[in-house]
Amino acid sequence: MIGFVNLFKPAGPSSAHAVSRVRRIYALYAGDRKLAAGHLGTLDPQAAGVLPVAIGKATRLIPLLLDQRKGYVCTLVLGRSTTTQDAQGETVESAIPPADWPKRLEPLLSRFVGRIAQTPPMYSAARHRGRRLYELAREGKIVERRARPVTVYGLTMLGLESNAARLRVACSEGTYVRTLCHDLGAALGTPAHMGALVREASGPFVLYEARTLDEIARNPEGALIAPEHIIPFPTIVLDLRGSADFRAGRVVPLPEGATGRHVFVRDESRTLVGVGEALGTLLAPRKVFL
């Protein structure tokens, strides 16, 4: 079994727990207790939205997913900063936001669009000398973190309510939206944290196509997305001998008319057998699914 699932993760369970539930559904469906599954980008437990999951040998295709852009809708809450930079953390500082913050916020957003530097929060999965930062934070330790570049492609205000604003964010992989909220508050001169967070998109996976666990359990095959629909490689079909050689790891002649450096390879029965790389008139196996 090979493919991707566009899972809607509700707020509450961890990404690992959600993936484990999906894996069990497909392991039962395929009759394979050792079936692999892995997600493409963690969502914090309190966040909801798109959580792409690779099923079976699709886990080996994750490095080929070039589009890693993310899309979110979040709530920027002013007046309180926290240890985790979201609503779950303990209060670090509180203050009444300046009365003119609604007028100042929208012009300020443009300063955070483009390539910006972010310092990973202590409660994050980034590593420091081999250990996760959140592990150190839970021990009460604070270590120096190096700022790293991320890209914000778009940042727009959707609405205002009391001491909060709803924002839509389009950003690169590795962007911390809660840090963005914290930094926006600092630029406004007031403590701030991230409230609610919904991931609207992760690469080619979008929210309106996402399925709940119940929907996936009712129709596992219907929820499984073929790799060709996610990774934009052309597909070629090899004859019996060619597919056997390809499976054995041997270079085979590249069929006429094949385009693209990388291609999905299927055999005469249209079973996906791997990914090949075009080398002139030859096709070299790069990932083989036995």
3 state DSSP class of 127:
strand
Bridge partner residues of 4 (DSSP): 54, 225
In one letter, which amino acid is 265? V
In one letter, which amino acid is 161? E
Burial of 207 (0-12, 13-18, 19+ CB in 10 A): middle
Q: What angle do CA 13, 221, 260 make, to 5 degrees?
A: 100
Query: Dihedral of CA 188/194/197/200: which sign?
Result: positive
Residues 6+ apart with CB under 8 A from 271: none
Which residue has tokens 């926290």? 82
Catalytic sites, residue numbers? 44
Answer whether 123's CB lies under 8 Å from 137's CB.
yes
- Cα 255 to its chain centre, rounded Å, is 35
- Cα 235 to its chain centre, rounded Å, is 25
Answer whether 47's CB lies under 8 Å from 7's CB.
no
Which residue has tokens 């920027």? 76
